[in-house]
């Protein structure tokens, strides 16, 4: 994302984000309307937040908010879509960015996952916790995006097992455990805590590698 990024009337990012550096989080992903909604969902939950509260948080009237989004569910669905797509694009960029040995690819992908769940902790938390509120095609889209993301990590970890870098006898289980470690960051990370996002990525990246069977030095 660059300073040229723009949002359409529905609050969607309309510029091309494919060139975004996967470690860079300087530019907000969400429009002001969606960012205000995200804050309300974090504090009150989807079902505990009214459309009037969302409008007030965005500085709009209720009819004004409906001009941008047809419903509260549409707001949540767009937040979720943007979160999952941003994580995917960053993951693909991370894999391409550097040496292509299995361990280097694994390290960058896990770093990407950890950075995302620290930098975007509120966004990731809502995308994870409010899947139960998504309906129809939006729920199916989330599950498809989640499964695609998991498959990517599965494949990279299996490459590390195949070349002898990792010794785990249960690569799929290890991959699931690593995903749980990474997504869990969004539940406890605080910007004023002990570690900055880069510190989280370094410390927990090492934990993830050993969980997959990287021998101790």
pLDDT tens digit string along 134-145? Answer: 999 999 999 999
Average of pLDDT values for 63-87?
A: 97
Kindly state whether residue 217 falls inside one of the protein's structural domains. no
From the list 152, 164, 143, the residue with the least C-alpha distance to 214 is 164
Domain residues for the domain of 199 are 72-211
Kindly state whether residue 194 falls inside one of the protein's structural domains. yes
* CB 79 within 8 Å of CB 30: yes
pLDDT tens digit string along 158-214? Answer: 999 999 999 999 999 999 999 999 999 999 999 999 999 999 999 999 999 999 999
pTM confidence score: 0.89
Kindly state whether residue 49 falls inside one of the protein's structural domains. no
Kindly state whether residue 167 falls inside one of the protein's structural domains. yes
Residue 111 sits in a domain whose CATH number is 1.10.357.10
Kindly state whether residue 40 falls inside one of the protein's structural domains. no
Kindly state whether residue 41 falls inside one of the protein's structural domains. no
* CB 133 within 8 Å of CB 46: yes
Burial of 34 (C-beta count, 10 Å sphere; 0-12/13-18/19+): buried
When divided into structural domains, the chain yields a total of 1
Q: What is the DSSP letter of 164?
A: T
Kindly state whether residue 33 falls inside one of the protein's structural domains. no
Kindly state whether residue 129 falls inside one of the protein's structural domains. yes
């Amino acid at each position: 994302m660059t300073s040229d990024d723009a949002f359409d009337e529905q609050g969607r990012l309309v510029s091309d984000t494919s060139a975004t550096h996967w470690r860079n989080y300087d530019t907000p992903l969400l429009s002001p309307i969606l960012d205000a909604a995200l804050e309300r969902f974090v504090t009150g939950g989807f079902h505990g937040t009214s459309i009037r509260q969302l409008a007030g948080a965005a500085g709009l009237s209720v009819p004004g908010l409906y001009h941008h989004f047809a419903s509260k569910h549409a707001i949540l669905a767009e937040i979720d879509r943007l979160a999952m797509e941003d994580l995917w694009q960053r993951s693909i960029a991370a894999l391409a960015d550097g040496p292509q040995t299995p361990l280097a690819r694994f390290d960058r992908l896990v770093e990407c996952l950890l950075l995302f769940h620290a930098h975007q902790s509120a966004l990731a938390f809502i995308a994870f916790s409010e899947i139960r509120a998504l309906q129809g095609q939006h729920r199916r889209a989330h599950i498809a995006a989640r499964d695609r993301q998991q498959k990517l990590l599965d494949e990279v970890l299996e490459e590390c097992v195949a070349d002898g870098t990792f010794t785990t006898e249960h690569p799929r289980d290890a991959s699931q455990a690593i995903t749980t470690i990474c997504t869990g960051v969004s539940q406890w990370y605080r910007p004023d805590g002990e570690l900055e996002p880069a510190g989280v990525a370094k410390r927990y990246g090492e934990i993830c590698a050993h969980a997959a069977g990287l021998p101790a030095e």
